[in-house]
Amino acid sequence: MDTIRLLGTGVLLHAKQMSRSPLEIVISLVDPLVYATLAVYLFRAGDEPHAVIEAAIGAGMMAVWVSVLFGSGGAIQKQRFQGTLELLMLAPRRPVVCFLPITIATAVVGVYGLLATLLWGVVVFGMPLDIADPAAFVIAVVGVVASLGMMGLLLASLFIMLPNANALANTLSYPIWMLSGMLLSLSVLPGWTTPLSNALPTTWGARAVREAAEGGAVWPSLAAAVGLGLLCLAIGAVAMTRMERRARVAATLSLA
């Protein structure tokens, strides 16, 4: 019960902390809007008719991933710079409980991008907001936030072990967009990528959101997304505990 309260309050406050810089929010919205626009024109130029909403959702999901990739990937480093890392570690809690709210919050902030591309579609391209199953859509988005937040925890624990994680992060936007079938369809990718796609929570999450918007069986995809997320969480939790132990040996919790 305590833990659930902590997760709730933690997500809320970290999302608040991340949302308080208008500049950062604006910067984070530019990319998805440009991608959405590009996709709309590409779809229009293409052979098959594609709905604007597909472009909006695809670009929006891309934004959620980017937010998790950079936000969660750099989460530990950021706490260290703020001087809050030691204080989080000092709390009588398992490290995973301290960091999960942060990584989930990065997914929450990513949803701003999804909302922005949907709004952009309606306002700029006169897109009718035809969501097949609005309730399922909301649940799917919440599920995706949880799933990607858990994936983010794994990223956070892996990236902290790499000396040049930010360089790696820069290379991971497009590949995950592709492998998750955000914007483009998985059927055009070479066959050997299929197992990779299937292993990513992002693939199932994007599919669930798309199915909720366009009609389709949402729940199996959403269950897969959350299930894979939980797997990431389990691995991430173990990695976090190890990381903490190592940090206490190597004295890397503080900047000084």
| Whole-angstrom distance, CA of residue 61 vs CA of residue 249 | 39
- CB closer to another protein out of 155 and 224: 155
What DSSP element (H or E) covers 19? Answer: helix 2-19
- How many CA within 13 A on the CB side of residue 90? 7
- How far lies 228's CA from each of 10, 121, 147, 182, 208, in Å? 23, 31, 7, 18, 13
- Least Å from the CB of residue 225 to another protein: 22
Q: Are 71 and 18 in contact (CB under 8 A)?
A: yes
- CB closer to another protein out of 185 and 198: 185
Angle, CA of 101, 205 and 108, to the nearest 5°: 30
- Least Å from the CB of residue 128 to another protein: 21
- CB closer to another protein out of 10 and 143: 10
- CB closer to another protein out of 242 and 248: 248
- Least Å from the CB of residue 110 to another protein: 16
Q: Which residues bind another protein (CB under 8 A)?
A: 2, 5-6, 9-10, 13, 16-17, 20-21, 23, 26-27, 30-31, 34-35, 37-38, 41-48, 50, 82-84, 86-93, 98, 163-164, 166-171, 173-175, 177-178, 183-185, 187-189, 248-251, 253-254, 256
The CA-based dihedral angle spanning residues 87, 91, 96, 101, taken in that order and rounded to the nearest 10 degrees: -70
- CB closer to another protein out of 100 and 224: 100
- CB closer to another protein out of 124 and 223: 124
DSSP state of 92: S
Tokens at 242, concatenated: 């190890």
- Least Å from the CB of residue 113 to another protein: 13
CB atoms within 10 A of CB 218: 23
Q: Are 182 and 206 in contact (CB under 8 A)?
A: yes
Phi, psi (rounded to 5 degrees) for 161: -85, -10
- CB closer to another protein out of 89 and 141: 89
Burial (CB count <10 Å: 0-12, 13-18, 19+), residue 177: buried
DSSP state of 191: G
- Least Å from the CB of residue 19 to another protein: 8
- Least Å from the CB of residue 20 to another protein: 4
- Least Å from the CB of residue 82 to another protein: 6
